[in-house]
Amino acid sequence: MLITLSDADPDSPPALACLRAYYDLLLENIPQISPEALNLPLQDAAKYRPPAGAFLIAWAGDTPVGCISFRPLDAATAEAKRLWVAPAARNRGLARRLMAAIESRAQSLGFTELKLDTNSALTPAIALYRATGWVDCPAYTGFPADIWMSKRL
């Protein structure tokens, strides 16, 4: 399966489809999350648009099979958000590729650090982050996050 990555608007239909699938994954794995808390479109979608942010979609042909985004937190730090890979595209290195792409994009925009928050129920994601150089950092958000990580770029 040939997979390409491209920029997308976070309000576009393919981005919203990816985000809905990501939210479904969260609801499946973290039962304490209220579905009402996962609203689309994103209220802060503008933060994920250039020039300071990005939203990437992975495509298998004309089917979106993954996404990742980032938004600025301050002049030096951005936050990686909403890594998702479709079940049919998993175990092929796509999540690693998406993370590398977003790290590279953030660095190219002058950010020197990325942060992310996650939940301990998302063990495959946590394993990926740790394997690719992310380290624990102090909490900077609240529930549903219970793990916070950062990476110097």
Q: Which residues contact 97 (CB under 8 A, 6 or more apart)?
A: 3, 5, 58
Q: Would you say residue 30 has pLDDT above 80?
A: yes
* pLDDT for the residue 65: 98
What's the mean pLDDT in 71-81?
97
Distance, CA of 12 to CA of 20 (rounded, Å) = 12
8 Å CB contact between 3 and 89: yes
3-state secondary structure 107-128: HHCCCCEEEEEECCCCHHHHHH
DSSP letter, residue 48: G
Task: Please report where in the chains the tokens 């998406």 appear, as a residue.
Answer: 98
For the residues 10-35, what does the mean pLDDT come to?
Answer: 95
Band (pLDDT 50/70/90 cuts) for residue 13 is very high
Does pLDDT of 1 surpass 80? no
Q: How many CA atoms lie within 13 A of 34 on its CB side?
A: 4
Given this model, what pLDDT does residue 35 score?
87
Mean pLDDT of 90-95: 95
Task: Kindly report the average pLDDT of the chain as a whole number.
Answer: 96
Residue 86's pLDDT is 97
Rounded Cα distance, 20 and 39, in Å: 9
Domain residues for the domain of 78 are: 3-152
Give the CATH number for residue 17: 3.40.630.30
Q: Retrieve residue 39's tokens.
A: 């609203």
| pLDDT tops 90 at residue 36 | no
* Sheet with 63-72, side-by-side order of all strands: 3-7, 54-60, 63-72, 77-85, 113-118, 147-152, 135-136
Contact (Cβ atoms closer than 8 angstroms) between residue 81 and residue 113: no
pLDDT, tens digit (0-9, with 9 covering 90-100), for 106-149: 999 999 999 999 999 999 999 999 999 999 999 999 999 999 99
- Total count of domains within the chain: 1
